[in-house]
């Protein structure tokens, strides 16, 4: 069976920051509908929406209080139906975020669970008695501090692997699983084509043994979920799985296991962290480290048994050109280079909103400008440990999730065309020069490079089905690889550094398919410009 998602390019929208239609400063579903022609022009096949469910917004929608309704800040169920309908008319599918490791503490299930120990919903969550008057164990939250919250009313602790307002569901309870499967089918029946599975590797946890990711029952739950939901249609499922490796990936994605379509490739997200330190303790990245990140999971693995979601950015990651490249004088070739390297690999590319125009990190001046709960918690903790405010703000500027959450930069008008009101988070001041309108007017823009890459994927199954092989060259700052099928052989070359590099190959160039600088007559022995990248057909 040929699945639609293998040859697709998927565009992630963070609804709160994409387009506001009513002037309240918050992006919404009507705003997305308004921008569908833009996405059609880009050429994408599907939109992945970060959560739009009802939520108190403690963690920007990843704390859900009603899975089967839309938060009023984003619109209504009718708006959602209209988005699905209008997108389908343009050949664009809708993929929703599915957050089922935890709910909001305002979800009716948790409100009932908290009433008393005899509540029929008590076992929907993970409650434990104190141990020696303290937390059951030393499990830590992903947002800092203990993962256990004490409830005075019942004298027990409940588990929250994220914020205290995000209590973890008890997947060992079959009633929980049944209700979740019913909810998934509710959305499939409304026309949803897929789901991105948030923190899904955590649902099989055994907190008493301090097993969090990849627990013993995880794959049993996933197989059961697939059986009762996704298997009924050609539904895309992509897992957010940080604690993994290629062998574990095969468990998730091997078609015979009937679990997921793919998982995200997150192998290199720690390369800019000082070894043994927290993610905030950043260091510079070398081209050699980048080369390893890009190729680790492409080489030596059987893609008949695994499939990857190729990702440079998302709502949890800083902007890639600010993080691993050059967001100043070399911003444009750098952004194009990252795009070319990623989109020519085996897997399904995901584009995060603004990536296609080369948006950059925001320069936060104080904690008052920060909205991210993780960054705020880190700020308080590090100040208490003696860090200076300047040090911590510098770390936030480098690594905060808010870097990806500043509003989409549409034009040079007030608030970058995002809203007529006051935006919920500051807009990057560089919108005057970095915006969609400017890109659409420039045939050599970053946007048009992404558009050509998407078209290349659609027109050439070589990218989906062809083999991947590293082309060994003598320059450690240059990444080069071959994509080959029965009738096509393509050489992809990228200078991963900000200075010129030598490159030579034994291939003859048949045709230049794409380049981020002016095409050369010959690609066999050249001096690559900073961040130069190209795709050529060779023999």
* Residues with active-site annotation: 198, 240
**Which residues on adjacent β-strands are paired with residue 134?**
131
Q: Is 258 helix (H, G, I), strand (E, B) or coil?
A: coil
- Where is 343: in which H helix or E strand? helix 331-343
Number of residues assigned to the chain: 539
Cα separations in angstroms, 139 against 144, 159, 163, 212, 255:
10, 9, 13, 9, 34
Distance CA(163)–CA(372), nearest Å, equals 12
Q: Any idea of the CA torsion for 97, 102, 103, 104, to the nearest 10 degrees?
A: -110
Distance CA(455)–CA(449), nearest Å, equals 10
Query: Which residues does 343 contact at the CB level (< 8 Å), separation at least 6?
Result: 9, 310, 349, 450, 453, 454, 456, 457, 463
Report the b/e string of 407-443 with b at 16+ CB within 10 A: bbbbbeeebbbbbeeebbbbbbebbeebbbebbeeee
**Phi-psi bin for 243: left (phi > 0), alpha (psi -120 to 50), beta?**
beta
Q: How many helices (H) and strands (E) does the chain have?
A: 15, 20
Distance CA(154)–CA(131), nearest Å, equals 15
Q: Is 129 helix (H, G, I), strand (E, B) or coil?
A: coil
Contact status, residue 67 vs residue 183, Cβ threshold 8 Å: yes
The pair of structure tokens assigned to 302 is 């059987």
Task: Give 61's DSSP letter.
Answer: T
**Which residues on adjacent β-strands are paired with residue 94?**
47
The pair of structure tokens assigned to 209 is 């043994």
């Amino acid at each position: 069976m040929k699945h639609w998602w293998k040859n697709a390019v998927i565009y992630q929208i963070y609804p709160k920051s994409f387009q506001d239609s009513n002037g309240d400063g918050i992006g919404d579903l009507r705003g997305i509908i308004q921008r569908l022609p833009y996405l059609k022009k880009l050429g994408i096949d599907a939109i992945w929406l970060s959560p739009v469910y009802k939520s108190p917004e403690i963690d920007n929608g990843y704390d859900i209080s009603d899975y089967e309704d839309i938060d009023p800040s984003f619109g209504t169920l009718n708006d959602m139906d209209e988005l699905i309908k209008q997108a389908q008319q343009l050949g664009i599918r809708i993929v929703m975020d599915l957050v089922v490791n935890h709910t909001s503490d305002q979800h009716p299930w948790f409100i009932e669970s908290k009433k008393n120990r005899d509540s029929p919903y008590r076992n929907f969550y993970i409650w434990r008695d104190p141990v020696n008057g303290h937390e059951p164990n030393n499990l830590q939250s992903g947002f800092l501090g203990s993962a256990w919250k004490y409830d005075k009313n019942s004298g027990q602790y409940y588990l929250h692997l994220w914020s205290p307002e995000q209590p973890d569901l008890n997947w060992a309870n079959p009633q929980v699983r049944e209700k979740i499967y019913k909810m998934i089918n509710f959305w499939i029946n409304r026309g949803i084509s897929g789901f991105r599975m948030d923190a899904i590797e955590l649902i099989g946890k055994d907190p008493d043994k301090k097993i969090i990711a990849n627990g013993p029952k995880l794959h049993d739950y996933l197989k059961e979920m697939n059986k009762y939901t996704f298997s009924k249609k050609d539904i895309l499922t992509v897992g957010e799985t940080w604690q993994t490796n290629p062998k574990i990936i095969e468990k998730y994605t091997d078609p015979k296991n009937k679990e997921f379509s793919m998982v995200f490739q997150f192998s290199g997200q720690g390369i800019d962290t000082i070894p043994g330190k927290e993610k905030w303790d950043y260091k510079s990245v070398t081209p050699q480290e980048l080369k390893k990140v890009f190729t680790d999971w492409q080489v030596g693995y059987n893609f008949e048994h695994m499939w990857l979601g190729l990702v440079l950015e998302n709502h949890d990651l800083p902007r890639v050109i600010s993080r691993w490249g050059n967001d100043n004088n070399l911003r444009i070739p750098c952004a194009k280079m990252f795009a070319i390297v990623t989109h020519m690999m085996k897997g399904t590319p995901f584009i995060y909103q603004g990536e296609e125009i080369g948006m950059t990190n925001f320069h936060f001046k104080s904690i008052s400008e920060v909205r991210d709960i993780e960054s705020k918690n880190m700020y308080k903790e590090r100040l208490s440990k003696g860090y200076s405010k300047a040090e911590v703000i510098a770390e936030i500027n480098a690594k905060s999730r808010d870097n990806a959450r500043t509003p989409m930069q549409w034009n040079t008008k007030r608030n970058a065309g995002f809203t007529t009101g006051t935006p919920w988070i500051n807009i990057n001041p560089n919108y005057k020069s970095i915006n969609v309108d400017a890109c659409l007017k420039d045939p050599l823009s970053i946007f048009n490079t992404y558009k050509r890459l998407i078209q290349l994927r659609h027109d050439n199954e070589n990218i989906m089905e062809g083999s991947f092989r590293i082309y060994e060259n003598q320059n450690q700052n240059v990444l080069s690889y071959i994509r080959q099928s029965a009738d096509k052989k393509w050489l992809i070359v990228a200078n991963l550094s900000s200075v010129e590099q030598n490159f030579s190959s034994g291939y003859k160039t048949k045709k230049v398919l794409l380049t981020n600088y002016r095409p050369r007559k010959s690609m066999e022995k050249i001096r690559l410009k900073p961040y130069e990248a190209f795709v050529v057909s060779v023999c």
